[in-house]
Amino acid sequence: MVKKILISLFAFFALSCADSSMRFIFYHEPTFVTEYTTLDFFTILNHPGFHRNRQTVMFHYAQDQTITTPQVHDLVSAYATNGQFNYILVHYTDPRIIQNSDAADLAEAIAITLTNFFNNGYSSGQMNLIGFSLGAQIMDW
């Protein structure tokens, strides 16, 4: 019984940490970004730079990458300058979260966030989830 409670508390703590550290960075022009949390991500629908008629790409980088890794930077630059997509990068303010969390917990936080987003009027058919390495596993969960 005590073991189950401890496991439940650990899972809750891991998800809470993921939620508090997880950010969704919206690139609405090549040099402008707006950051959202899991709780307010759905408000991106009200951002003047978010185009509801466009496909949206959400990218999750790998466990050993960050927002400043050259490969991530190149991908962001390519999508941001393309201008045909809404581009969102999943980012962690504390890099230890992606390194120490269970992928299922991170995937659950993203799933809950996206469910709220879709329930507020954006079509799930317009969302493209992309990831690299562990990021791909999380996005495919």
User: What are the CA-CA distances from residue 121 to residues 32, 52, 53, 83 (Å)?
Assistant: 24, 9, 12, 22
Summarised one tens digit per residue, pLDDT across range 28-45 is: 876 789 999 999 999 999
pTM over the 0.85 mark: no
Domains in the chain (CATH in brackets) are 2-140 (3.40.50.1820)
pLDDT digits (tens, 9 = 90+) for 102-121: 888 899 999 999 999 999 99
Our CA dihedral for 48, 125, 54, 117, rounded to 10 degrees, sits at 10
